[in-house]
Structure 1
Amino acid sequence: MTHGEAVAAFEEAELHAHLARRDEAAADDGGRRAAELAEWQRVVQLLAATDGPYDPDADVVVQEELAEDRRREEVEQQRRQQQQVADRAEELARLGGAGRLDCSVPSRAGDEAARDLLDEKRDYRAAKVDAWLARALATHSGHYADPAARAAAVGLLPVPVRARAALLAALARTGTPIDGDLEFVGRLAQADPDATTALAAWLDSAVAVKGGTA
């Protein structure tokens, strides 16, 4: 858009505003028309100063408005994500408290954040969620079926939960059913995660040796 085109658009907007002022039905639209006129006037003045075609990318006001829109969108997106985490945390806590958080409930991406929220609130049901996540990680179920999700769990889950998962997986490889409530595994992992992980590695070595001599 050139300066002349901007002037013509501004004059046309002024004409429409003048005609609208005579129409009582358009009275409620006066604020929008005033803002439109002010914007056209600003563009006309900008082009008169730069003596060139209008470029939104070079318009500081427009770019600031776009940046503010992006900031608002980011804030809103963060709010939505936080609400989703809170809703999921409440769902998992409710299932855990009712004794229904088992292998029939598939884990989902973001459950680690929901677990952290319960832990921050010192919710007693967080222990149930820890046990459920450890089993899902051990059995590669739910979103942990994806190797990338299992790799990411190293940085998303606390050491005791990962140690618990490692021992459960090692026990499964020995042929031991891990469908029941193996509460002792969780207590071992919580008390000494390093020793629990070492025990899991020892069991895996024993299974490998036995398989090699079979």
Structure 2
Amino acid sequence: MDAVGVAAALEDARFDARQDSRHEDLADDVRGRAELAEWERLDQLLAAAPAGTVYDPDTGPVVQDELAVEAPAAAVREAQRIAARADELQALRELHALEQTEPRAGDEAARDELTRRAGGYVQADVDAWLARALTAHRGHNRDPTAREAAAGLLTPPVLAHAALLAELARLVPGADVDELAFAARLAATEPEAAGDLAAFLARAWAEGS
């Protein structure tokens, strides 16, 4: 906002403050007073700045200070959400119900949390579930942008598994999940080879079509 825009907003805030002062239930509106004080601060800031200066709220010190205060709390909430989803996935694993579960945004982080809890042990069943969900565009993977984001968070073995599954599904559309179990083993032990095989099959498909 430029000085003119800030001045107009300040006048609006002052008008609202005068209106509130006439109503007993609004006279002690802390939020309104804080808003008025902020517009007054911006008005003074731009008045002292060179002509043509524009205030950007994304870089304003007050906004940045608020974000800095909020960031740790937001990080704690996100960690709690990831931990809760990891607990849920763990329970689903124990019930052998992962395949009936729709993946959600953030499950890649929950997978990492499960691996961390296991002391770095790869969660093969979770990895296979994520690869199959990515290939079949299940859950949040239905959105291309979400798929791209998920792919950026998954490990090379999971991505190689997903790529190989996609090509095998094109080769044998009716193949059962159990019939393709070898793809997970290959991707886990030789992810680069699995990726190369997926690329080769894609090329063969393109040249044969």
TM-score when normalising by structure 1: 0.63
Note the 1:24-103 alignment, pairs <5 A: 55-57=40-42, 70-102=67-99
What corresponds to 1:194 in structure 2? Answer: 192
Q: Pick from 172, 181, 184 the counterpart of residue 183 of structure 1.
A: 181
1:148-202 CA deviation, whole Å, 9 max, x = no partner? 1222233200000000001111110012445423332111001111110111122
What corresponds to 1:130 in structure 2? Answer: 127
What corresponds to 1:34 in structure 2? Answer: none
What corresponds to 2:49 in structure 1? Answer: none
Q: Pick from 115, 119, 131 the counterpart of residue 115 of structure 2.
A: 119
Look up the equivalent residue of 1:119 and give its one-letter code. Answer: T
The answer to whether the Cα contact below 8 Å between 1:173 and 1:204 also exists between their aligned partners in 2 is no
1:161 and 2:158 are equivalent in the alignment:
yes
Gaps spanning 5+ residues in structure 1: where?
1-53
Equivalents in 2 of 1:66, 1:199: separation in Å? 51
1:108-139 CA deviation, whole Å, 9 max, x = no partner? 11111111111112276822211110001111
Look up the equivalent residue of 2:103 and give its one-letter code. Answer: S
TM-score when normalising by structure 2: 0.64
The answer to whether the Cα contact below 8 Å between 1:107 and 1:141 also exists between their aligned partners in 2 is yes
1:110 and 2:106 are equivalent in the alignment:
yes
Look up the equivalent residue of 2:102 and give its one-letter code. Answer: P
The higher radius of gyration belongs to 1
What corresponds to 1:142 in structure 2? Answer: 139
Equivalents in 1 of 2:138, 2:183: separation in Å? 19
Alignment length, in residue pairs? 156
Equivalents in 2 of 1:206, 1:170: separation in Å? 10
Higher helix share: 1
SS state at 1:108 partner: coil
Shift of the alpha carbon at 1:66?
7.7
| C-alpha RMSD of the superposition | 2.8
The answer to whether the Cα contact below 8 Å between 1:133 and 1:161 also exists between their aligned partners in 2 is yes
Percent identity over paired residues: 45
From the superposition, tell whether residues 164 and 66 of structure 1 become closer, same or farther in structure 2 (CA, over 3 Å).
closer
